[in-house]
Amino acid sequence: MLKGKVAIVTGSTSGIGLGIAKELAGLGADLVLNGFGDAAEIESIRGGIERESAVRVIYDGADMSKGDAVRGMIAAAFEKFGRIDILVNNAGIQFTAPVEEFPAAKWDAILGINLSAAFHGIAAAVPRMKKQRWGRIINIASTHGLVASTHKAAYVAAKHGLVGLTKVVGLETAGSGVTCNAVCPGWVRTPLVEKQISDMAARRGITQKEAANELLAEKQPSLDFVSPSQLGGTVAFLCSPAADQITGTTISVDGGWTAQ
C-alpha cells in the first residue's frame, strides 16, 4: 500500500514509535528512524527492519528539543529520498508532580519535545507535501490530549496543544491532498508507563502485576493495555485511501477510557 512512500517517525527507537515504524515499513514505506539510545542497538533495529521489509531505512539522531534540528531532519530526509509522504510526530517525555512543585525546566522540556517538535516538523514538511499533492501528518497525542489526570500539568497541556495544532493544520491543508490527524492512545505498556507501574508498586508495596492492574482499573475499562502494533495499524489506516476525507480530528485507541 505504501510502496514508494517515505515515512518519518520521531521517537521510533523503542515503544510506540518503533511499533508504528515497523508497521509502515511492512506496508512498503521507506523509513527515517529517530530517537535516542545505544548506537549499536539502533543500528541493529535499523538493519533488521530494512532486511525484514525490503525497504530503505535510515537513522537520524536529531534532538527533538531543538527546533532547528527537527527542521534539519525533514530537510535531510527530503535530500536523501527526494520526497516526504508521512510524518508521524511521536517523540515524547513525561514527568509527574503537583503543579506547585512542578520544576520549570521539566515544563519547558515536555512542552518542547511533546508539542513544539511537532510544530517544527509540520512547518517544514507541509510545503513539500502540498507540492506533491499527497501527505499524511499523524500526531501521536494521548488520552491526556482529551482529558486530564492529576500531577501531569505539562504532559496534559502539551497533548491538548497537540490536538489543537492537529485541528489547525487539518483546516489549513484541507483540499490539498494532505491530511493531519491525531491518535490518542490510552495506557500502552511502554518504558514510560513501565516506570509509572514500578513507582506505584514501590510506593504501595505491591507487585508489578497488581500495580499494572490497578493502573488499568482506574482509567481503562477494557482492563488491557493498547499495543504498539495496534497503534501502528491505526496509523496505517490513516495513510490509506479509506482515510482520504479524515482530517483535523482525533482517533481514540484507549479501551473505553474517554467514553466514561
> Which residues carry out catalysis?
155
Locate 131 and state its grid cell.
Answer: 507540492
Q: Report how far residue 15's alpha carbon sits from residue 43's, in angstroms, rounded to the nearest whole number.
A: 16
Read off φ and ψ for residue 188, nearest 5 degrees.
-120, 135
Amino acid found at 177: G
Q: How many whole angstroms separate alpha carbon 161 and alpha carbon 79?
A: 30
Is-contact 46 22, C-beta < 8 A?
Answer: no
Strand order through the sheet with 86-89 = 57-59, 30-33, 6-9, 86-89, 135-140, 178-185, 250-253
- The beta strand positions in the chain, using DSSP E, are 6-9, 30-33, 57-59, 86-89, 135-140, 178-185, 250-253
Q: Provide the greatest CA pair distance for the chain.
A: 57
